């Protein structure tokens, strides 16, 4: 039997892309694509004598990660039509590994959102149920994987923006350790939290994608100079002797009992694989949302100051001076959620409020990090939690910003602490996917993937029903 070529795979990817775009209920997960360019790259891959790790893999890239040919707009009007003069390191590494970038995916504007309803190009729909959100901000990437357009997609994480949509769409989402993957070419939102993450159809897809993009990058001074293990080899690691922590704060009485039951089943599956499960406490968890929504908007206020209509992107001109041009450009270019966060961030950084808000938030952030450090120092190898408090909600269901922000309550702690985490499917509630989250100590992606492989194998088809 002839092995499928890269051209075959890319052709199939574009065919599937057209199918899910069609009709009033199209997913709207793809913003930019170039079929002929992608096919030309696929033919070049097929012509290579040496087989690369991702040879022939079509991949999707979130629209806030720079690519040379396709636009990088961050799903915002202020960057409409912008094409980067350089490429993100993670994209270059995917290409070097033989993959073909077939599309840029829709996202919440500048990665600010938990539902993918904040895009200037319209909301993304969940492939499992098109009346539901796919999660955000990497909802387009998660939807592209769940819909079968690609097996691997890049997203970005600031407070759970890969893991939460992966959970909502029933796929795998990885947030590596802060510093494990280069941020060069990722449009900055909150620099001390931002990371590039991977969405995969399976744990193996996610492990392979993460392995390819990981490693030191001279263009990113925050990237760590540490060897990158073969993450796919973690599939053979046994769970016997591994201690799994179950933090009480992630299983409050208010948690949907059906989600809690699926989590209990997942923990039983890990026990059956030989792991020990014990209760632990991460006492500062309830402070994570207020800390995150001080730190992230503050850093966003600084990072997004560069979008002013002078150097690139949208410019709304007039005859009333430079300041008025700034105001018109930013008012018309930024959507309401981005504007809200810029205003909030500017406020907490302003004179007289910095110490009371931003500095205090950083102090509490250190306490959250210490919670994880103490848990791992106590003998816990892996922490298990639900990824989200509930399955995907309906489009338009959450008009209150604070209610929307609570969607990240179980994920933003990982970004604040910089630890690696993965979401994998553990079952369904009312036909909608539910994700379970595995967290390990800094730079222990091998242990994280080992537990994820074990849980995926133990649950089998039950993870998707």
Active site residues: 62, 137, 161
3-class DSSP state of 428: strand
Q: Which two tokens stand for residue 233?
A: 């080899």
Find the helix or strand (DSSP H, E) in which 458 lies.
helix 445-459
By DSSP bridging, strand 100-105 and strand 58-62 are parallel
Separation of alpha carbons 291 and 279, rounded Å: 25
Separation of alpha carbons 271 and 361, rounded Å: 37
Separation of alpha carbons 93 and 64, rounded Å: 17
Q: What is the CB neighbour count within 10 angstroms for residue 50?
A: 6
3-class DSSP state of 58: strand
Burial class (CB in 10 A: 0-12, 13-18, 19+), 107: buried
SS percent in the chain: helix, strand, coil, step 5: 45, 15, 40
Which residues face 429 on adjacent strands? 432
Length of the chain as a residue count = 465
3-class DSSP state of 196: strand
**Peptide bond between residue 384 and the one before it cis (omega within 30 degrees of 0):** no
Separation of alpha carbons 435 and 440, rounded Å: 17
For residues 35 and 7, is the Cβ–Cβ distance under 8 A? Answer: no
Q: Which two tokens stand for residue 286?
A: 């309830």
By C-alpha distance, which of 413, 440, 407, 415 is closest to 284?
Answer: 413
For residues 182 and 221, is the Cβ–Cβ distance under 8 A? Answer: no
**Tokens 């179980």 sit at which residue?**
410
């Amino acid at each position: 039997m002839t092995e499928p070529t890269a051209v075959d795979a890319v052709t199939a990817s574009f065919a599937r892309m057209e199918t899910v775009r069609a009709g009033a209920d199209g997913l709207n997960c793809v913003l930019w694509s170039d079929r002929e360019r992608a096919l030309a790259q696929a033919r070049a891959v097929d012509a290579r004598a040496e087989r690369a790790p991702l040879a022939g893999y079509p991949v999707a890239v979130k629209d806030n990660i720079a690519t040379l040919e396709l636009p990088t707009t961050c799903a915002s009007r202020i960057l409409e039509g912008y094409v980067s003069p350089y490429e993100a390191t993670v994209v270059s590494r995917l290409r070097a590994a033989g993959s073909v970038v077939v599309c840029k995916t829709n996202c919440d504007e500048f990665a600010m959102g938990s539902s993918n309803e904040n895009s200037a190009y319209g909301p993304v729909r969940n492939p499992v149920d098109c009346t539901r959100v796919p999660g955000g901000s990497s909802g387009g990437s998660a939807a592209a994987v769940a819909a079968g357009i690609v097996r691997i997609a890049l997203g970005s994480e600031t407070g759970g923006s890969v893991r939460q949509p992966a959970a909502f769409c029933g796929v795998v989402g990885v947030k590596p350790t802060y510093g494990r993957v280069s941020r060069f070419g990722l449009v900055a939102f909150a620099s001390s939290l931002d990371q590039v993450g991977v969405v995969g159809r399976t744990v193996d897809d996610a492990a392979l994608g993460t392995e390819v993009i990981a490693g030191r990058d001279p263009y990113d001074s925050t990237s760590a100079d540490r060897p990158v293990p073969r993450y796919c080899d973690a599939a053979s690691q046994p769970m016997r002797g591994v201690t799994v922590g179950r933090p009480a704060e992630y299983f409050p009485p208010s948690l949907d009992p059906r989600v809690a039951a699926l989590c209990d089943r997942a923990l039983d599956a890990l026990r059956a694989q030989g792991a020990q499960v014990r209760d632990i406490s991460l006492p500062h968890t309830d402070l994570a949302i207020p800390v995150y929504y001080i730190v992230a908007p503050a850093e966003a206020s600084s990072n997004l100051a560069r979008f002013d209509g002078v150097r690139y992107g949208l410019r709304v001109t007039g005859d009333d001076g430079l300041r008025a041009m700034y105001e018109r450009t930013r008012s018309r270019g930024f959507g309401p959620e981005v504007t809200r966060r810029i205003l909030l961030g500017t406020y907490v950084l302003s004179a007289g409020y910095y110490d009371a808000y931003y500095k205090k938030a950083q102090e509490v952030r250190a306490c959250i990090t210490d919670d994880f450090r103490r848990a791992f120092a106590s003998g816990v190898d892996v922490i298990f939690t639900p990824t989200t408090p509930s399955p995907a909600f309906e489009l338009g269901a959450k008009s209150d910003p604070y209610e929307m922000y609570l969607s990240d309550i179980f994920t933003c702690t990982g970004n604040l602490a910089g630890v690696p985490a993965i979401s994998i499917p553990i079952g369904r509630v009312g036909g909608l996917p539910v994700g379970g989250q595995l967290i390990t100590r800094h730079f222990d992606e091998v242990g994280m993937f080992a537990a994820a492989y074990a849980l995926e194998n133990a649950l089998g088809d039950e993870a998707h029903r």
